């Protein structure tokens, strides 16, 4: 997917130190301006830009962050191959109306001797919390830091990473961080594939299969709504994906959209979740059951 870079009204300032970030946002807050935060790992696509757009529409000032967080990668190869292009990302942030980009080096976020980890229990005992050991704690730790460093009024996260969104909501509430956590619906390609920075790593044949994750979740959800039992519906969906050529499934489950408790029958707020591998690329997606009602 290509994203157009157009002229922006305000030039983008880039800071790399927490002190500089604080110096920039303090006067905005003093003048009563509201601040929206959009945390990213870069390799921007239209999903990230939907968060920027929401923040731009709802806040006086928009701060974006660009930090490929080593603590949330549980595989060294995944971290090493993560796409990076700061100049392109900065141009896109600028064209989206971002005021300030915080793009720190790893040493600024995790200085020598860093020894604190934020863990959210319960919500992380399933899905990616199990499939990617350490990942959720890595996310929770860095997002806690970014929230405390920038003290935004609203921070924007995508429903694409739904478990992450719930974990961040919970940590903000539990730690009394005075921020609203806003959820932005998943942005998809025309064929249904959820936009992801990792999609670029798919070979053409894998890219052709990738939309099946979403399609299969929708089909399973529709069957459940038609009255087919949950367990066989999910079993068939798993078989469909593996039969189509997916190499491995980490999970394909129906869970409560607030507690993430596993569900064996349909109920309001339920969501289907899947994580599926095509070669070395792991795709995740989720669909609210209610969105599939005819
Ligand atoms: P990432 O750079 O992958 O860490 O993602 C940064 C933010 O963008 C997270 O809040 C993601 O949930 C969100 N995001 C990623 N992909 C999408 C998408 N397809 N639609 C909406 N938000 C997304």
Q: Is the pLDDT of residue 25 over 90?
A: yes
Residue 13: C-alpha distances to residues 16, 64, 175 (Å): 10, 10, 30
The predicted structure's pLDDT at residue 6:
53
Taking the C-alpha atoms of residue 157 and residue 184, their distance in angstroms, rounded to an integer, is 6
**pLDDT of 175 over the 50 cut:** yes
Mutate to test the pocket of ligand 1, among 48, 64, 172 (most ligand atoms within 8 A of CB): 48
Q: Is 197 in the pocket of ligand 1 (CB under 6 A)?
A: yes
* pLDDT tens-digit series, residues 101-150: 999 999 999 999 999 999 999 999 999 999 999 999 999 999 999 999 99
In this model, does residue 170 exceed pLDDT 80?
yes
Is the C-beta atom of 48 inside 6 A of ligand 1? yes
199 Cβ below 6 A of ligand 1: no
The mean pLDDT of 214-241, rounded to a whole number, is 98
**Residues designated as active site:** 48
Indicate the pairing of strand 270-278 with strand 248-256.
antiparallel
Contact 42, 68 (CB under 8 A): yes
Ligand 1 centre from 232 Cα, in Å?
31
Reduced to 3 states, what is the DSSP secondary structure of residue 197? helix
Sequence-ordered list of residues with C-beta below 8 angstroms from that of 155, at least 6 positions apart, any chain: 36, 37, 38, 39, 143, 146, 147, 168, 172, 179, 180, 181, 182
**Which atom, in ligand 1's list, is nearest to the CA of 156?**
10
* In the predicted structure, residue 51 carries a pLDDT above the cut 90: yes
CB-ligand 1 contact for 40 (6 Å cutoff)? yes
- What's the confidence (pLDDT) of residue 241? 98
Encoded tokens for 175: 């730690």
Lookup: tokens for 95: 């064209």
Question: Mean pLDDT across the chain, nearest whole number?
Answer: 96
| Span from the CA of 52 to the centroid of ligand 1 (angstroms) | 11
Q: Which atom of ligand 1 is nearest to the CA of 42?
A: 2
Average pLDDT over residues 38-44: 98
- Cα 36 → chain centroid: 16
pLDDT above 70 (res 4) = no
**Which pLDDT does position 7 carry in this prediction?**
52
CA–centroid distance, 265 to ligand 1, in Å, is 29
Residue 286 beta carbon below 6 angstroms from any ligand 1 atom: no
> CA of 242: how far to CAs of 99, 216, 226, 272, in Å?
45, 11, 24, 17
Q: Is 209 in the pocket of ligand 1 (CB under 6 A)?
A: no
**pLDDT at residue 176, as a whole number:** 98
| pLDDT tens digit sequence for 65-92 | 999 999 999 899 999 999 999 999 999 9
User: Residues 251-281: pLDDT tens digits?
Assistant: 999 999 999 999 999 999 999 999 999 999 9
In which element (H, E) is residue 271 found?
A: strand 270-278
For residue 44, give the ligand 1 atom closest to its CA.
2
The CA-based dihedral angle spanning residues 37, 185, 171, 128, taken in that order and rounded to the nearest 10 degrees:
-120
Distances (CA, A) of 289 to 31, 50, 160, 198: 43, 23, 15, 26
Q: Closest residue (by CA) to atom 19 of ligand 1?
A: 195
Atom of ligand 1 nearest to the CA of 164: 12
Asked whether 72 lines ligand 1 (CB < 6 A), one says: no
Is residue 203 over pLDDT 50?
yes
- pLDDT score at 187: 98
Pocket probe for ligand 1: among 36, 38, 47, 284, the residue whose CB has the most ligand atoms within 8 Å is 47
């Amino acid at each position: 997917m290509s994203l157009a870079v157009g002229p922006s009204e305000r030039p983008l300032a880039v800071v790399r130190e927490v002190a500089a970030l604080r110096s920039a946002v303090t006067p905005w807050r003093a003048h009563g301006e509201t601040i929206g935060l959009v945390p990213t790992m870069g390799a921007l696509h239209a999903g990230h830009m939907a968060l920027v757009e929401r923040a731009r529409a709802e806040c006086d000032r928009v701060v974006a962050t660009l930090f490929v967080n080593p603590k949330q990668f549980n595989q060294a190869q995944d971290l090493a191959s993560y796409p990076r292009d700061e100049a392109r990302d900065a141009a896109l942030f600028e064209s989206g109306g971002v005021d300030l980009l915080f793009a720190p080096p790893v040493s600024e976020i995790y200085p020598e001797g860093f020894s604190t980890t934020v863990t959210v229990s319960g919500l992380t005992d399933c899905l990616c919390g199990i499939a990617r050991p350490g990942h959720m704690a890595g996310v929770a730790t860095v997002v806690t830091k970014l929230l405390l460093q920038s003290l935004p009024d609203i921070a924007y996260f995508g429903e694409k990473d739904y478990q992450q969104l719930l974990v961040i909501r919970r940590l903000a509430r539990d730690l009394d961080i005075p921020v609203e956590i806003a959820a932005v619906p998943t942005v998809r390609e025309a064929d249904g594939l959820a936009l992801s920075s990792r999609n670029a790593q798919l070979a053409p044949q894998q890219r052709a299969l990738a939309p099946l994750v979403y399609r299969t979740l929708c089909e399973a959800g529709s069957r459940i709504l038609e009255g087919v039992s949950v367990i066989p519906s999910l079993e068939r969906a798993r078989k469909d994906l593996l039969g189509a050529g997916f190499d491995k499934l980490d999970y394909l489950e129906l869970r409560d959209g607030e507690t993430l408790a596993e569900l064996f029958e349909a109920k309001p707020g339920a969501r289907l979740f899947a994580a599926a591998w095509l070669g070395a690329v792991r795709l995740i997606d989720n669909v609210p059951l209610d969105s599939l009602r005819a």
